[in-house]
Structure 1
Amino acid sequence: MFDKENMLFLVVYIITFIFGLPANIFALYAFVKKVQQKATPVDVLLIGLTVSDLLFLVFLPIRMKEAIDHMEWNMPYFLCPLTGIIFYGTIYNSSLYLTAISVERYFGVAFPIKYKLNRKPLHAVVGSVVIWTISLAQCSIVFIMHYSDDKHNSSHVHCYEDFCDDQLKVLLPFRLQQFVLLFCVPLLICCFCYINFIRILYQLPNINPRRRYRAIGLAFGTMVVFLVCFGPYNISHLIGHITNESPKWRNYAVLTSTLNTCLDPFIYYFSSSALRGTFTQILNRFSSKLQCPSCSVYQRNTAQTLELEERTQSTNDNLDM
């Protein structure tokens, strides 16, 4: 029999899986297709972010099983830290990738000529390796806590939830530095980059208004992900350090972070013309089969917009969102 808490977790996990999996698979297809034609640093970063989200979604059914079992861990012992490092690691992957994308966008408009001459997809590949290394290294704390006191951990039926005093002395300060380095610093960088990104775009006289709207959408979507998805989880680190305990409501804070994989595709849409183009092609094929008049109108308008973007692409390559 499900109680309200377990039902909430299960419903959120199912919704995230149903909507997030196809959206991210579609995005990965569009980005890989684009990279095969002409790779740019932002494409590489978006592929890394999409792969991170898909990895999270692949492991999400394990969390569903945990919710079905009333948040008790009835699965093999080794899956607990493995799932934890994937679950928490992808949270920090997302925040760091979104920060890297904001920096890439800002450099593209603030230093258009110099950055265009020096930007290479290889730089984004190296950046992706650094991001994954930092995320996995930070989340190694899950393994450390899980195996630091086998006698204590084996006496509890919950995964990465009950900690002894000795474990808390290590865990709480570690979480605090995660709050500062992997949430506060990236958030400040994103705010700086997107505020200046939008300001510069509005100062340029010949920029298509659609580009300005997409810039606002990109900045707004990123801030929503940081504050709504990552905010509660990271604030729980700060509160835990102040109260000297792991907050009981932390599971709910982590729950909001799972929605990140559903919101990231919106950021992809505002970030990549390749994704918008692929989406339009699929919509055109679908509308032609349905012979939908309203869809046809949208198809013509979108085709005209894409044609205009293609004409201006050569002179506005750094502004391609």
Structure 2
Amino acid sequence: MSADSTAGLVINIITFLIGFPNTVLAFCSCIRKIHSKPLPIDIFMLNLTVSDLIFLTFLPVKIKEAADDMVWNMPYILCHFNMFMVFIPLHTTSLFLAAISAERYVCVRFPVKYKSQRRNLYTILICVAIWVLVIIVIVFAHEAAYTNPEKKEPLRCYRDFTPTQLRNLNEVRLAVLGLFSLTPFIIYCFCYINVIHILLKLPLINRCRRLRAIGLALGTFLLWTVCYAPISVSYIVGYIRKEDPKWRTEALMLTTLNACFDIIIFFCISKEMRKAVGVCANAFFQLYVYSKRFMLLCP
């Protein structure tokens, strides 16, 4: 197994083991909140967790691909499905994080207007628009990158392109870069810088809320830097040089980690999530204490 395949296998397994249980926990917390008294942030969070769950549910297929040294030994139709299940959650996550940052800014900057009765309706429409936009763009990317599996041995998924396919794909990637990476990053910067500035000026805001706002901003920027910045640079380099950069595989591997970093977002926003994490941490600690006592009692 090559070094790239080994690294991909390790990253995928770590992401699945850390991301899946925490995302399920966040999803249950969001469902409970939606059933009681939903706010726009809860609707955005629910969509973010659904996006992560779609990706994590399909991650075992990526683990199998990495274990096979990136050779596609599964039905080829699954390769097409793989593209949608990997790239749609990747880009919806970026847009939902931008929506969450904008929602936090509106909540702090315009607290009276934020209480509008129609805010949930607007939020649902935004979520629907995000899903539709991403699906349309990924469908175009799929058409641009469609390859004939009979021409390549060993068969690899979404890796071997003809010059025409690569040219079309690089153009789509440039649009993806603008829509799903650079635009959200600008929104993150504008919203969180202003949110932190406003909260620091308000004397009645407690310290915990300020720290959560700072943690939310840092978590979002860390996620973008690790998961989205490398793949974004590969899109620019690929378009300029009219090729697929050799290091694009490593950049694509890092995008897998977004399901782990989203846990920081869940923790900073959701009170229910913080309580659930506290309960689970306490349960694991008690289990550790009891197991240690049991080992001491055993001869």
TM over 0.5: yes
Letter in 2 for 1:176: L
Q: Identity across aligned pairs (percent)?
A: 39
C-alpha deviation, 1:81, in angstroms? 1.3
1:80-130 Cα deviation digits (max 9, x unpaired): 111111111111111000000000000001111112124532322222111
Pairing 1:42–2:17 present: no
Name 1:77's counterpart in structure 2: 76
Partner Cα distance (2:265, 2:188) in 1? 13
Structure 1: distance between partners of 2:212 and 2:88 = 29
Aligned counterpart, 1:9: 8
How many residues are treated as equivalent by the alignment? 290
Change (3 A) 1:3 1:246: closer
Distance across 2 between alignment mates of 1:153 and 1:183? 33
In structure 2, how many angstroms separate the alpha carbons of the residues matched to 1:168 and 1:289?
54
1:38/1:282 CA distance change after superposition, 3 Å:
farther
Q: Is the CA contact 2:149–2:155 (under 8 Å) kept in the aligned structure 1?
A: no
Q: Aligned partners of 2:280 and 2:250: how far apart in 1?
A: 37
Structure 1 partner of 2:124: 125
Structure 1 205/167 Cα, relative in aligned 2: closer, same or farther at 3 Å?
A: same
Instruction: Using the TM superposition, give the Cα deviation of residue 272 of structure 1 relative to its aligned residue in structure 2, in angstroms.
Output: 1.6
CA contact (8 A) 2:192 2:217 kept: yes
Alignment match, 2:243: 245
**Which residue number in structure 1 is paired with residue 138 of structure 2?**
139
Alignment of 1:184-199 (within 5 A): 184-199=182-197
Give 3-state SS (helix, strand or coil) of 2:116's partner. Answer: helix
Alpha-carbon distance in structure 2 between the residues aligned to 1:218 and 1:261: 15
User: CA separation in 2, counterparts of 1:248 and 1:103?
Assistant: 36
Per-residue deviation at 1:78?
0.8
Q: 2:20, 2:233 → 1: CA distance? A: 27
The one-letter amino acid paired with 2:12 is Y
Residue 288 of structure 1: how far off its partner (Å): 7.5
The normalised TM-score by structure 1 is: 0.85
SS of alignment partner, residue 205 of structure 2? coil
User: What is residue 279 of structure 1 aligned with on the other side?
Assistant: 277
1:154 deviates by 5.2
Deviation at 1:290, TM superposition (A): 8.0
User: For residue 265 of structure 2, what is the aligned residue in structure 1?
Assistant: 267
Structure 2 match to 1:174: 172
The alignment partner of 1:145 has SS state of helix
Counterpart for residue 257 of structure 1: 255
Match of 1:231 in 2: 229
Match of 2:296? none
Counterpart of 1:227, as a letter, is T
Q: Which moved more, 1:275-284 or 1:200-209?
A: 275-284
- Structure 1 SS opposite 2:115: helix
Partners of 2:213 and 2:151 in 1: CA distance: 48
State the one-letter code of the partner of 1:75.
M
Q: Deviations over 1:264-305 (max 9, x none)?
A: 01111101222223334555666778899xxxxxxxxxxxxx
Question: What letter is aligned with 1:233?
Answer: I
- Report which stretch shifted further, 269-278 or 253-262: 269-278
Aligned counterparts of 1:4 and 1:73: Cα–Cα separation in 2: 17
For the 8 Å contact 1:152–1:164, the answer to whether it is kept is no
* 1:181 positional shift: 1.9
Contact 1:41 1:119 in 2 (8 A): no
Task: Go from structure 1 to structure 2 and tell me whether the alpha carbon gap of 1:167 and 1:31 turns closer, same or farther (over 3 Å shift).
Answer: same
- Give distance in 1, aligned partners of 2:3 and 2:148: 31
1:137 aligned partner, one-letter code: I
Matches within 5 A, 1:20-31: 20-31=19-30
User: Separation in 2 of the partners of 1:239 and 1:153?
Assistant: 27
Q: Which amino acid aligns with 2:5?
A: N
Greater Cα offset, 279-288 or 104-113 = 279-288
Q: TM-score, normalised by structure 2?
A: 0.91
Corresponding position: 1:53 with 2:55:
no
Q: Secondary structure at the match of 2:76?
A: coil
- Unmatched runs of 5 consecutive residues or more in structure 1: 293-321
Q: Is the 8 A contact 1:156 1:162 kept in 2?
A: no
Report what 1:311 is aligned to.
Answer: none
Q: Deviations over 1:224-253 (max 9, x none)?
A: 011111111111111100111111211110
1:140 is paired with a residue of what secondary structure? helix
Which ranges in structure 2 are unaligned for 5 or more consecutive residues?
291-299
**Alignment CA distance shift 1:282-1:75 (3 Å):** closer
Give, as a single letter, the amino acid of the residue that structure 2 aligns with 1:59.
F
2:92–2:130 Cα contact (<8 Å) kept: yes
Could you say if the C-alpha distance between residues 167 and 14 of structure 1 is closer, same or farther in structure 2, counting changes exceeding 3 Å?
Answer: same
